[in-house]
Copies of this chain bind each other. A is one copy, B any other.
Amino acid sequence: MSELKPIVLYQHAQGPNPWKVVMILEELGVPYEEIFQDPSTIKQEPYISLNPNGRVPTIQDPNTGITLWESGAIIEYLVDTYDKEKKISFDTFPEKYHAKQFLIFQVSGQGPYYGQLAFFKFFHPEKVESAIQRYEEQTLRVMSVLDKCLEGKEYLVGGKCTYADISFITWETVAQAIIPEFGEKTKQYTNYHAWLQRLMARPAIAKTLERKATMGAH
């Protein structure tokens, strides 16, 4: 896709969500350039004129003119626009909607619960054990749901790795890095654990995780 102009990705080294987008771009071989933000600049102009929610990622695609935020929407835009060969997506029914279902579970279930766990563990000014316990239970519950969905399957939908599978990786690797006992806990969910290893062995994913690590990110 060398005729494409690079997609501009506003991102943050420590943020799990922009790296989800990087993985999709790498899988699809779409050129991109990153503009790294830090937590203070994303809450002020000029960034909030691009993304009034003050979060990363946001993309600007010079090939189509769109500015878009929310990693879930960006991922669907990228596969709709650039995955013409359906390498990591489906245009068949019902697979197309089942992939969407799991993407939504990632952005509305996994991301928020994992995020609250990290917040109460590391950023909340007060140590609230009952809140930490709540979110530990919920993160394990998310794993158990995925474990059940993966019973007898290599991937979540239609026997093929899709953007939905890939979307779950970064929150899991961040959780394992910042909470060392977390990695051990995933092993009781054997389908889930095997699936993560399978995903992380993909060249585009391994390359992204490696680059993320060299930036001091989890």
For the complex, is A149 an interface residue (Cβ under 8 Å from B)?
yes
Could you tell me which residues of chain A, from 102 to 151, have a CB within 8 Å of some CB in chain B? 103-105, 107-109, 111-112, 116, 119-120, 124-126, 128, 130-131, 134, 145, 148-149
Q: In the complex, what distance in Å separates the CA atom of A128 from the CA atom of B127?
A: 11
Q: In the complex, what distance in Å separates the CA atom of A68 from the CA atom of B97?
A: 8
Does B111 contact A108, Cβ atoms closer than 8 Å? yes
Q: In the complex, what distance in Å separates the CA atom of A207 from the CA atom of B48?
A: 37
For the complex, is A218 an interface residue (Cβ under 8 Å from B)?
no
Does B124 contact A130, Cβ atoms closer than 8 Å? yes
Does B112 contact A66, Cβ atoms closer than 8 Å? no
For the complex, is A36 an interface residue (Cβ under 8 Å from B)?
no
Tell me the interface secondary structure of chain A in the complex. helix
Does B101 contact A73, Cβ atoms closer than 8 Å? yes
Does B66 contact A94, Cβ atoms closer than 8 Å? yes
Does B125 contact A130, Cβ atoms closer than 8 Å? yes
Does B52 contact A77, Cβ atoms closer than 8 Å? no
For the complex, is A76 an interface residue (Cβ under 8 Å from B)?
yes
Does A52 contact B108, Cβ atoms closer than 8 Å? no
**A77 closest partner in B (C-beta):** B97
For the complex, is A216 an interface residue (Cβ under 8 Å from B)?
no
Q: In the complex, what distance in Å separates the CA atom of A10 from the CA atom of B131?
A: 30
Does A126 contact B130, Cβ atoms closer than 8 Å? yes
Chain A contact residues, CB within 8 Å of chain B: 48, 52-54, 64-66, 68-73, 76-77, 93-94, 97-98, 100-101, 103-105, 107-109, 111-112, 116, 119-120, 124-126, 128, 130-131, 134, 145, 148-149
20 contacts between A and B (CB under 8 A): A52-B145, A52-B149, A53-B105, A68-B94, A68-B98, A70-B100, A70-B101, A70-B105, A71-B104, A72-B107, A77-B100, A104-B107, A107-B107, A108-B108, A116-B116, A119-B134, A124-B134, A125-B130, A128-B128, A128-B130
